[in-house]
């Protein structure tokens, strides 16, 4: 594939606005490598997509109507990807049947049954199915994307509080109760198949590949034969080990009991040196007492765990509905607890958001030690080159939070710079654990912490700064802003040295960086004017911000649609609002109309940026007395001419 074809493929993966903004920043004749770096930095492409482009594996970056954004995991049936519908822009989880199974009727039938089972179920505690189809790469199922982690991963990081454990199992029981009442038995309940949403804490049941209607016989199942063993041995009921085809709700109750034991203790109820010995322990071994491993577990909760692990269905609670009622009663009796990190240290999480402010950069020139925790190799390389090119810091890079924590326990670092979403934890969780283990910087040798977030991740990161947990730095950012964030994190001003010419083009918007903002002679300074930028394209926001910085503006707030802009304008004043026309939820026209009708915002100058040329659409905007309507190219001379007339 030649360079022209590669550029065409890259262009097909992003929106027209994102492509145009990238070309404006790096030049129309830039190489595919430079454009990919620009698109990754702006958030238009993911690191997974960038690596696929580098390998020339464009086929795997689009499945049906979905752009593949990342690889979430893989199992015996296939691989699960994070993807986005090209038109709806909805982010989903896409499960692709492994190529070697596509010609095997048993696996295809099992996959189709999962599709059909999910299609029958719609419940807050069960992952929803959106779509299913077949593409060149094989059969695929499109499901709700849960932005979080499974319970196995969560417990591996830290012991759950009793309340969190009870809530997680109660959520699961609610979803399974709904499925059981519709005749669906899961048959593979385990911690790895229960996903917890990081934002809400809600747990959802996933992976219904082994689920089946309770009345389906072995003769017509087409998947297993009587006496066959399917499921996961650590959580499998005694009767499922004997015959996987003739099962009722009691088998899921047993498996959920084993999962409850796990989230309370960090280990499965039975584990032996072989698969068969593990299965025999489920059948013949004494039921373990959860209080032996965790004495603070209430007697009532320990007793429920024991009953759910009863050796026969008759020994267990009769339904998930009764388990839900019991867990709800137990939760109401629980007291407050202290959250713990995986190392057993208490962690404090307080809620306040600290913005980035400029510091005097006249301190010592000695480089500081920085740990970068970033799964994206492209983004990590950009940060490293940015810091090392300015002689500001020495840098070590890690892809996971666990690697960074292990390093911090053995050596001194001045500051940690972390992405929000890592391979094993969130950046929020990593910041908590760094403080839990090492304490705040003011009281110990703990490093400062900078969390890199996008606009959509702002609420998730909004609790970090009050107790000195972290400084939040929004993407896209300049090298100067990164260094200023490091200064705030360590409490010392750092010098901002100009970038070497060889670095130009490696960082998005490098041609505009390292220059002092220009001033408009005779028109006063814009540096104290606060601007609200509204656009659903992160690349467009980045470009508009750079142009405005060239003119002299310094203070910005960004919103990805009109509704978020309204929310921003309700809590803080703005001197200027610059908005796109076509946006989801509330478009630019509706936004301008709302702002003009609200007395608190009626007099704020508004500039519309759009590709629209229709008088039918633009004349109503003009009648609302906007300060100007500017083409999407956002030419600096045009923008300067408009804003000069305002002050």
| Tokens 């508004």, located at residue | 606
Catalytic residue among 188, 414, 536, 561: 188
- Report the phi/psi class of residue 137: left, alpha or beta, with left for phi > 0 and alpha for psi in -120 to 50: alpha
The residues, any chain, with a CB within 8 Å of residue 598's CB and separated by 6 or more, are: 569
The residues, any chain, with a CB within 8 Å of residue 553's CB and separated by 6 or more, are: 517, 526, 527, 529, 531, 576
Distance CA 199, CA 196 (A): 9
Query: Are the beta carbons of 77 and 209 closer than 8 angstroms?
Result: yes
Q: Distance between alpha carbon 125 and the CA centroid of its chain, in Å? A: 19
Where are the strands (E) in 457-611, listed by range? 471-474, 530-534, 555-559, 576-580, 606-610
Phi, psi of 149 (to 5 degrees): -145, 160
Composition of the chain by helix, strand, coil, percent to 5: 45, 15, 40
Catalytic, 315? Answer no
CA distances from 191 to 106, 298, 602, 634 (A): 26, 22, 53, 51
Which helix (H) or strand (E) segment holds residue 5: the answer is helix 3-12
Where are the strands (E) in 106-188, listed by range? 129-135, 138-144, 148-150, 184-185
Angle between helices 320-333 and 299-308 (to 10 degrees): 160
Q: What DSSP string runs through 322-354?
A: HHHHHHHHHHHH------B-TTS-B--------
- Indicate which residues carry an active-site annotation: 188
């Amino acid at each position: 594939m030649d360079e022209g074809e590669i550029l065409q493929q890259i262009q097909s993966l992003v929106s027209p606005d994102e492509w145009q903004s990238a070309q404006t920043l790096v030049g129309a004749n830039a190489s595919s490598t430079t454009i990919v770096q620009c698109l990754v930095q702006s958030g238009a492409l993911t690191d997974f997509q960038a690596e696929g482009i580098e390998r020339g594996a464009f086929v795997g970056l689009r499945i049906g109507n979905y752009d593949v954004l990342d690889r979430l995991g893989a199992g015996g049936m296939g691989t699960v990807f994070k993807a986005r519908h090209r038109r709806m822009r909805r982010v989903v989880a896409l499960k692709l049947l492994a190529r070697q199974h596509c010609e095997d009727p048993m696996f295809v039938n099992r996959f189709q049954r999962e599709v059909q089972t999910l299609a029958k179920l719609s419940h807050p505690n069960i992952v929803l199915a959106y779509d299913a189809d077949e593409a060149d790469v094989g059969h695929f199922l499109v499901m709700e994307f849960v932005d979080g982690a499974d319970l196995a991963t969560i417990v591996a990081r830290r012991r759950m509080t009793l309340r969190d454990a009870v809530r997680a199992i109660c959520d699961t029981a609610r979803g399974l109760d709904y499925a059981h009442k519709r005749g669906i038995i899961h048959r593979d309940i385990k911690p790895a198949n229960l996903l917890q949403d990081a934002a809400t804490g809600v747990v959802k049941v996933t992976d219904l590949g082994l689920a089946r209607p309770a009345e389906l016989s072995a003769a017509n199942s087409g998947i297993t034969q009587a006496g066959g063993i399917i499921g996961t041995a650590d959580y499998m009921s005694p009767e499922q080990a004997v015959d996987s085809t003739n099962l009722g709700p009691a088998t899921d109750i047993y498996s959920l009991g084993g999962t409850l034991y796990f989230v309370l203790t960090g280990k499965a109820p039975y584990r032996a040196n072989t698969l068969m010995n593990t299965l025999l322990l489920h059948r013949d071994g004494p039921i373990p007492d959860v209080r032996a491993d965790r004495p603070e577990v209430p007697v009532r909760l320990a007793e429920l765990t024991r009953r759910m692990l009863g050796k026969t269905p008759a020994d267990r609670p009769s339904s998930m509905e009764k388990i839900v009622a019991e867990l709800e009663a137990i939760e109401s009796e629980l007291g407050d607890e202290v959250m713990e990190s995986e190392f057993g240290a208490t962690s404090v999480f307080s809620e306040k958001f600290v913005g980035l402010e400029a510091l005097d950069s006249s301190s010592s020139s000695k480089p500081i030690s920085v740990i970068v925790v970033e799964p994206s190799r492209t983004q990590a390389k950009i940060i490293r080159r940015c810091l090392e090119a300015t002689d500001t810091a020495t840098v070590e890079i890690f892809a996971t939070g666990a690697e960074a924590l292990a390093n911090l326990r053995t050596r001194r670092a001045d500051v940690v710079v972390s992405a929000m979403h890592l391979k094993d934890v969130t950046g929020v969780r990593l910041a908590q654990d760094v403080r839990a283990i090492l304490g705040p910087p003011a009281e110990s040798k703990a490093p400062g912490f900078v969390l890199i977030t996008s606009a959509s991740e702002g609420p998730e990161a909004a609790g970090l700064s009050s107790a000195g947990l972290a400084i939040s730095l929004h993407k896209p950012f300049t090298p100067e802003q990164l260094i200023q964030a490091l200064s705030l994190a360590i409490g010392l001003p750092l010098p901002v040295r100009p970038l070497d010419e060889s670095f130009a083009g490696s960082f998005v918007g490098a041609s505009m960086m390292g220059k002092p903002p220009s001033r408009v002679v005779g028109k006063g300074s814009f540096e104290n004017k606060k601007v609200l930028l509204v656009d659903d394209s992160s690349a467009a926001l980045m470009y508009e911000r750079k142009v405005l910085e060239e003119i002299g503006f310094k203070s910005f707030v960004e919103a990805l649609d009109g509704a978020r802009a309204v929310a921003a304008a309700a809590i803080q004043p703005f001197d200027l609002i610059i908005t796109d026309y076509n946006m989801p939820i509330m478009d630019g026209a509706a936004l301008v109309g709302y702002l003009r009708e609200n007395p608190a915002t009626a007099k704020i100058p508004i500039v519309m940026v759009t590709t629209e040329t229709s008088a039918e659409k633009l004349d109503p905007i003009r009648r609302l007395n906007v300060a100007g309507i500017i083409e999407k190219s956002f030419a600096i001379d045009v923008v300067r001419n408009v804003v000069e007339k305002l002050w």
